[in-house]
Structure 1
């Protein structure tokens, strides 16, 4: 009796373990291609997203496909850049419009400017006449004089009419002069006034004054102090300055010329000046 050998049926199974590294390799390749594409439009945000994508790809393989498209940020960046450029352009235009508006508001017509200049000239002429009349009335012709130019009316006062030699305290009659000038200026409150002290080139160095700078400055301040005792004038429009011997009106070569250089000048300044006249004056020098 023949024996039948039973063969057990064995089902063959294909080994699929190779799919795991293959899937990992595909994931890494996909990440690489995304990185290369993203490098065309690089910015800081994109690097952050790229770094995050790499972390996910290396950690769990399949997560990178769930990430938002990195390339989309390139479009967003271009859009933001364009929006910023449009915003900058708009802001520049607005600023330009504001500047033009301000220029239009500040700009004064030539006719209006000429009218203001004429009014000032008339007021300066009137003030000069009053000061000249005061000088003549009080016998001060040898000690005071006035002259007017395009920018100011200047009252020049000899130092001998104001101070004792090498001193800065006003004489009593000098106080009367300062009070009189301040009173006349009450009628012209819109002009700035500068009181300037000047000396000759003789050096001075004593217990009171270290130099002619000190002497000229203190003399100007003392004269101004008396003027500002008048409470009807605005102190904000007044100032004092000392020039020492550096703005002479004559050579310091004679006694008479040195006396001319020792002086105090009260300058009433124009508010409006015709630029055409100033250019003409410069050209003639």
Structure 2
């Protein structure tokens, strides 16, 4: 409707806020698209990080977001449960590990080494624990000839696997202070490296699959309250890592 003199009536536009609102929604959509594209660059590591954070803050895997059971934790000391049959574990891999364990059990039984070598299934993989009495003289990282023969047999059983192998040295809590080994850190690490060298040179395992670490006295499997338990803590573990844990291992 026009006023007299040809003037048009000006209407107050009460819906101008919709323009601002639509701009905000558009910007939010663009933001989330960019964030999604960034996270998709390495979805596996992002999933592992999310699983680790969920365990650290909630005490459980991030269910409902990632595959059941979570992924290998990036937070030290927290490892997600991985049940057989989930998407994280390959049936072929489980069969191979079971076959390796059966072969090693037969060898250990034949040689009468049940009290000196133990096999344990853990979330991270199969762990072959060898007590120091069968490998080294007390306070030394020099392998005995018998130990080298033993490691050759074990190494050959593992040579055909594609899995990463982590060699872990451990000691009891008795202090050591020598020129070669100022502390248990040096002793445990030197022992792990000695085992790695045999696996490479004598068993023919690709060095790219191996890593060595020493934990000193700080990862005991029993209280250091007697000689029997202390002997259990003085050990070298060969950890056959499940392929799901490749995200935590440096690899190409």
TM-score by length of 1: 0.57
Q: Is the 8 A contact 1:168 1:219 kept in 2?
A: yes
Q: In 2 relative to 1, CA 90–228 (structure 1 residues): closer, same or farther, beyond 3 Å?
A: same
1:201-241: per-residue Cα shift (whole Å, max 9, x none)?
A: 11111122101111111011111111111474221111111
Aligned mate of 1:246, from 212, 218, 226: 218
Report the CA distance between 1:90 and its aligned residue: 11
Aligned mate of 2:190, from 218, 225, 247: 218
Structure with greater helix percent = 1
| Rounded Cα–Cα distance in structure 1 between residues aligned with 2:36 and 2:127 | 43
Higher alpha-carbon Rg: 1
Report the CA distance between 1:109 and its aligned residue: 8.2
| Map of 2:90 onto structure 1 | 117
| Map of 2:149 onto structure 1 | 176
* DSSP 3-state at the match of 1:114: coil
Q: Kindly report which structure 2 residues correspond to 1:1-285, keeping only aligned pairs within 5 A, or say none.
A: 95=34, 98-99=37-38, 114=87, 116-189=89-162, 191-230=163-202, 232-272=204-244
Structure 1 residues not aligned, in runs of 5+: 1-87, 274-285
TM-score by length of 2: 0.64
| Rounded Cα–Cα distance in structure 2 between residues aligned with 1:177 and 1:163 | 12
Structure 2 residues not aligned, in runs of 5+: 1-26, 48-65, 69-84, 246-252
| Map of 2:15 onto structure 1 | none
1:148-192: per-residue Cα shift (whole Å, max 9, x none)?
A: 022210001010000011111000010011111211112212x11
